[in-house]
Amino acid sequence: MTTTGTEASGTEIDLSTVTFVDDAERAAGVADVLKSLAHPLRIRIVAVLGQGPQHVNALAERLDAKQSIISQQLRILRMRKLVRRTPVNGFAIYELAEPRLLTLIHCMENCTVV
């Protein structure tokens, strides 16, 4: 059985570390995370939070979206525990709870299919 694969970039990947083939529960969990990210604004929020913690108004300004819409999207990300909220001086500051999301976003950004 093949234990390595090759990305489009030519980078070799160790497939022996991919557990989804034998672990349906883990695959379902990953699918849930991907569903949580399956909105263009949520992907952009994760990308901005990857640069550092932000409050809602800063995210709204940076992403040119209404604060209420940003809040809705953050709530979805928080429910999945991908983003965490910390109160600071009366403001809610948001940051990535799972920094490896940036790797996923970067991978998708460079995906030849997109």
Report all structural domains of the chain as residue ranges with CATH numbers, in order of start.
Answer: 4-109 (1.10.10.10)
For residue 2, pLDDT over 80 is answered with: no
Compute the distance between CA of residue 76 and CA of residue 53 in angstroms, rounded to an integer.
17
Please work out, in degrees rounded to the nearest 5, the angle formed at the alpha carbon of residue 65 by the alpha carbons of 64 and 70: 130
Q: What is the mean pLDDT of residues 28-53?
A: 93
pLDDT of residue 114: 59
**In a 3-state reduction of DSSP, which class is residue 5?**
strand
pLDDT of residue 1: 45
Q: What is the pLDDT of residues 68-94, one digit of tens each?
A: 999 999 999 999 999 999 999 988 999
**In a 3-state reduction of DSSP, which class is residue 4?**
strand
For residue 38, pLDDT over 80 is answered with: yes
